Structure 1
């Protein structure tokens, strides 16, 4: 067995394993949680094993993407190393993935954790973009990324999104651009939408995370989809129902009808939609207020319509929500323009997506559609995606 421990210490999830393994041995929440029915704080995998996570209180060692509570992180790492990996830190080395632009004070706190509290023999610290580039180059040795040793890594993480150019396995720090949006902000926005329109779920972090991962998708034609979402009944291809846990028959929430939730896939990627007030070439009859479906608060469920694509839309149009931030496509263009002009065509042709928020259906297609008008016509835009991108940072460490 290898004596190298690999730890991708993200703000939302910790991915940990042993050097040489293909997949991480543990993927656990990087937090402590206390369910409303318990007085005990649960750590990492204990949260995953808990049946009732209704209104769970959370304590996270990370805030805005950086470590702020080393004592809390120590408790989580101790659970991972001793209970899940079953390794002896004093006989092992650690490969640690840390966020870009980590502050020196945080680096010193991390060093104290690694050497003084756990007693690791040695430590190697790396950032996510360089490891993702290394993995992609080694995974496809005949590809452009391997031959040019250059790529642009788009990392949509828990707290923020980075567009990071990488050259010869080193991140070009001066060209990295950051978008202050990540999976946490998307979950919070979905909480607000559901709470305002249906039922109060502001305390249901894990539940809304599940809703986001199962039901949200990226729209390729937002004006068209907004009109479709206003249709009543079965004409609304986006309407679906999510059932909340009742604490008796089922302890986890679930999608009521999976086929209903997938109906949006029948829409063409790019289709002309009739102007407002028109439906299939005919005048659309406006919906009467008395015909609108009222919310039945006695039922343990809620409906989603345009929330399903408005939440991921934040990444591409943060200004629509009043945020003074550029969209992801503009963020990528600014990162490329910060590099030497000779690298521009190669960077646009070797974009790599990583992070949980890139797993939304049609994310890559929408990003390419947004990038194309901003990129010179003689440049190719090529976006690489992988299903295992949540674990890619871990895999590339091996």
Structure 2
């Protein structure tokens, strides 16, 4: 059989690689961008935006996705072509494609996608998958034990770029009637942080990529909102949330960075009750800030602050993720994440309720925020019957979890029989071919 390209086509990031591999070859932005102030009309595509020499300030960004759905197929084809030929170095005409699409994708978008895959890129065959079923497949296969593996049932909570979904999965099939959606994702969190900083400090409304980086490195989920709001009012070293994010100057640094990592992690002492900074436990999430931006180590960065713009953050760090749990705080007439999960479970048969609450799997980039799982369990426990156990499982890498499930499926002996071939597409058309993927 030909090689299988696994493409998790997210609204924010594309994860692309080959079936059977543990990790994707590329994790790149699903967009094109250029300097708004530049006279050049050439856009940087996907992986080109990750180059250390690229200045990400004031980038004009174009995305093929809007509100979670593909609206610009031509732009998406251009990005796919760059990823497939420029990064993966594969020939689509001798390959099969496993494509991850959003839940409840519209028929018009499906037809346009099929045209690009078969007619323009020329793939031999294609299989369409959804993220919850792939996350369930990967986690049950990897762990081998636990309620999800025994019952083949789980509730996947996917905090993606545009939306957050709570999706029940049974025997590797997503129960579409039970899926509940929260119209908040990583993009909304970044936009909210931009607004807060612009109102309180410096105008960063055009700095999407920069503030997205600051969000990933500095935001966290509060375990006690009232306490943290009171502590955030303190001044100086008594404020455990105060930290500084240094904006790039375009000369000595092309990327933003955290000025003092120790200072940024002081909030961790609130949970342990000690004054020691638990640096090791956070190294995987925020430790990468030590070598980015070309500004040297932490001690060097403390001295590089004379001519650079700095953004001081305090309560913004936990107020931004708070809208996931209480959307009404920003005027959205929606239930929070815990209520969204309860509604998804309640829509299923009552026999599944205890199993689903015991098999909650978190995926998506926003779940990387420190203390996310602990806060969700704290919010969920009062809403669930006392005799039900609430167990929340965090994926080892929530950004790659969907892709790894796709890689596992693509390497299975049944994969080829599940695909729609190019000849079938040409013979009976997109609509009839798509019926094979309706669960």
Query: Does the 8 A contact of 1:220 with 1:269 survive in 2?
Result: no
Partners of 2:200 and 2:308 in 1: how far apart?
15
Name the structure 1 match of 2:10. Answer: 10
Name the structure 2 match of 1:354. Answer: 363
Residues 170-189 of structure 1: matches in 2 within 5 Å?
170-189=173-192
**Per-residue CA shift, 1:93-140, capped at 9, x if unaligned?**
000000000001110011001001101011100000000000001001
Deviation at 1:268, TM superposition (A): 2.7
Query: Does the 8 A contact of 2:248 with 2:308 survive in 1?
Result: no
Partners of 2:241 and 2:64 in 1: how far apart?
37
Partners of 1:330 and 1:223 in 2: how far apart?
21
Name the structure 1 match of 2:160. Answer: 157
Residues 156-235 of structure 1: matches in 2 within 5 Å?
156-235=159-238
Deviation at 1:40, TM superposition (A): 1.3
Deviation at 1:91, TM superposition (A): 0.5
Partners of 2:56 and 2:329 in 1: how far apart?
33
Aligned-residue RMSD, C-alpha: 1.6
Query: Does the 8 A contact of 1:182 with 1:357 survive in 2?
Result: yes
Deviation at 1:248, TM superposition (A): 1.5
Query: Does the 8 A contact of 1:359 with 1:387 survive in 2?
Result: no
Name the structure 2 match of 1:127. Answer: 130
Structure 1 length-normalised TM = 0.92
Match of 2:76 among 70, 73, 76: 73
**Per-residue CA shift, 1:280-321, capped at 9, x if unaligned?**
xxxxxxxxxxxxxxxx99751010000000000010000111
Q: Secondary structure at the match of 2:17?
A: strand
Match of 1:94 among 93, 97, 120: 97
Partners of 1:32 and 1:298 in 2: how far apart?
30
Deviation at 1:259, TM superposition (A): 0.3
Match of 1:44 among 39, 43, 46: 46
Partners of 1:20 and 1:136 in 2: how far apart?
16
Structure 2 length-normalised TM = 0.83
Is 1:305 equivalent to 2:314 in the alignment? yes
Residues 330-341 of structure 1: matches in 2 within 5 Å?
330-341=339-350
Partners of 2:173 and 2:222 in 1: how far apart?
34
Name the structure 1 match of 2:34. Answer: 34
Consecutive unaligned residues in structure 2, runs of 5 or more: 275-304, 408-439
Partners of 2:193 and 2:137 in 1: how far apart?
34
Partners of 1:373 and 1:142 in 2: how far apart?
27
Partners of 1:114 and 1:151 in 2: how far apart?
31
Partners of 2:55 and 2:406 in 1: how far apart?
35
Partners of 1:311 and 1:149 in 2: how far apart?
35
Query: Does the 8 A contact of 2:162 with 2:184 survive in 1?
Result: yes
Consecutive unaligned residues in structure 1, runs of 5 or more: 272-295
Match of 1:318 among 302, 313, 327: 327
Report how many residues are paired.
Answer: 374
